Amino acid sequence: MLDNLKADTRRLKVWKSRKAPWYVLESLLFENGYQAVVLHRIAHWFKRRGIPFFGPFFARLSLFLTGVDISPGAEIGPGLLISHGVGLVIGGHARIGANALLLHQVTIGSPEVGRLEEMPTLGDDVFVGAGATLIGDIQVGDGARIDAMVLVSRDVPAGHRVAYRSAIEIQPLPSPPPEPSEES
């Protein structure tokens, strides 16, 4: 647990470009993503040792304090970085490699309630953008990039990018909208 926390903290320091020794205290107090990572490491430590109550307790504490819901059973490698993590969900059988960067509203989980063992496995150095959803028994290779608002339900090879091609067209209005009348 301590080795993973040290790697998480080192990655945070590099990402925030902070030289002052206060960045750890500042992050513990004000960065919900870092708070969630620390609380997950504690919850996972209890879960792996089969100590009842404390794993779920720290996971719920994280959800309450940070808005981040990471199951104590999720296997997450060192160097995890969560930025603006509110709404982020990671299921209990998910596996995430080293140096992952996850943004807010990300879901990593099963396709439905009855299939909880079918969770994604992410390799090392994976980026997952805001609002992305990764579901099912899929493999996301090392160095992959999942852009914002993408639903991923099949394997992504290492070094590949998954992007959403919008079908929305933005066009000018044919004429300016009418002014509201004073009689209404």
Q: Which residue has the tokens 């603006």?
A: 84
| Predicted confidence (pLDDT) at residue 184 exceeds the cutoff of 80 | no
Report whether 122 contacts 141 (CB < 8 A): no
- pLDDT, residue 20, reads 64
Structure tokens of 31?
A: 């960065």
Report whether 33 contacts 66 (CB < 8 A): yes
pLDDT digits (tens, 9 = 90+) for 63-95: 999 999 999 999 999 999 999 999 999 999 999
Q: In whole angstroms, what is the distance from residue 52 CA to residue 60 CA?
A: 14
- Whether residue 83 is contained in a domain is answered as yes
Mean pLDDT of 98-109: 97
Local structure of residue 176 (DSSP, 8 states):
P
pLDDT digits (tens, 9 = 90+) for 11-50: 877 777 766 677 777 777 788 999 999 999 999 999 999 9
Tell me whether residue 124 is exposed, middle or buried, using C-beta atoms within 10 angstroms of its C-beta: 0 to 12, 13 to 18, 19 or more: middle
- Whether residue 183 is contained in a domain is answered as no
Q: In whole angstroms, what is the distance from residue 184 CA to residue 182 CA?
A: 6
- pLDDT, residue 6, reads 83
Count of CA atoms in the C-beta half-sphere (13 A) of 33: 21
Q: Are strands 133-135 and 107-109 parallel, antiparallel or unpaired?
A: parallel
Report whether 106 contacts 33 (CB < 8 A): no
- Whether residue 173 is contained in a domain is answered as no
| Predicted confidence (pLDDT) at residue 60 exceeds the cutoff of 90 | yes
Q: Any idea what the CATH number is for the domain that residue 62 is in? A: 2.160.10.10
Mean pLDDT of 121-129: 98
- pLDDT, residue 50, reads 95
Q: In whole angstroms, what is the distance from residue 90 CA to residue 106 CA?
A: 8
Report whether 107 contacts 134 (CB < 8 A): yes
- Whether residue 175 is contained in a domain is answered as no
Task: Supply the range of the domain harboring residue 89.
Answer: 2-161
Query: Dihedral of the CA atoms 161, 162, 168, 170 (nearest 10)?
Result: -20
- pLDDT, residue 177, reads 67
Compute the residue count for the chain. 184
- Whether residue 33 is contained in a domain is answered as yes
- pLDDT, residue 162, reads 96
3-state secondary structure of 14: helix
- pLDDT, residue 123, reads 98
- Whether residue 98 is contained in a domain is answered as yes
| Predicted confidence (pLDDT) at residue 119 exceeds the cutoff of 60 | yes
- Whether residue 150 is contained in a domain is answered as yes
- pLDDT, residue 118, reads 94
- The whole model's pTM is what? 0.85
pLDDT digits (tens, 9 = 90+) for 129-176: 999 999 999 999 999 999 999 999 999 999 999 998 776 677 777 777
- Whether residue 131 is contained in a domain is answered as yes
Structure tokens of 12?
A: 């945070």
| Count of domains observed in the chain | 1
